Amino acid sequence: MEDCIFCKITRKEIPAETVYEDDKVIAIKDINPQAPVHVLIIPKEHYDSILTVPAGNCIISDMHMVANRLALKFGIVDSGFRLVNNCGEDGGQTVDHIHYHLLGGRELTWPPG
Ligand code: 5GP
Ligand code: ZN
């Protein structure tokens, strides 16, 4: 995906503060953090959203495992955290490359706005 901002980040064409990387997933600090810990967990392969990941593909569980590791790394396992996927317009998705937000380090309100 030539113009996708997260594809550009995974190709290192745009700088980002990387906090985790393996062959399938990259995790970066959000440019506009909404909590003391706000990390984006992004698969290197482009999918527009959670709706277009093929059945049987392991990328969702891979992303969850990265979230667990990062929660440990950032010390938010005991205090708690939120793992969020925004999907589509009403869901608040602004970048059409699937990603999870890992948020923590403060009390998060529910329901979200
Ligand atoms: P969404 O609204 O699609 O769920 O989340 C997109 C997130 O990407 C937003 O929280 C936004 O701040 C973040 N973001 C957008 N562009 C960039 C960028 O160039 N670098 C980083 N690190 N985060 C970005
Ligand atoms: Zn992309």
d(C-alpha 27, C-alpha 4), whole Å: 16
Residues less than 5 Å from ion ligand 2, measured at CB: 1, 4, 6-7, 46, 97
The residues carrying an active-site annotation are 99
Average pLDDT over residues 103-113: 95
Ligand 1 site, residue 92, Cβ cutoff 6 A: yes
Ligand 1 site, residue 83, Cβ cutoff 6 A: no
**CA of 48, nearest ligand number:** 2
d(C-alpha 20, C-alpha 3), whole Å: 23
CATH number of 5-104: 3.30.428.10
- Closest C-alpha residue for ligand 1 atom 20: 31
What would the pLDDT profile of 45-97 be if each residue is shown by its tens digit? 999 999 999 999 999 999 999 999 999 999 999 999 999 999 999 999 999 99
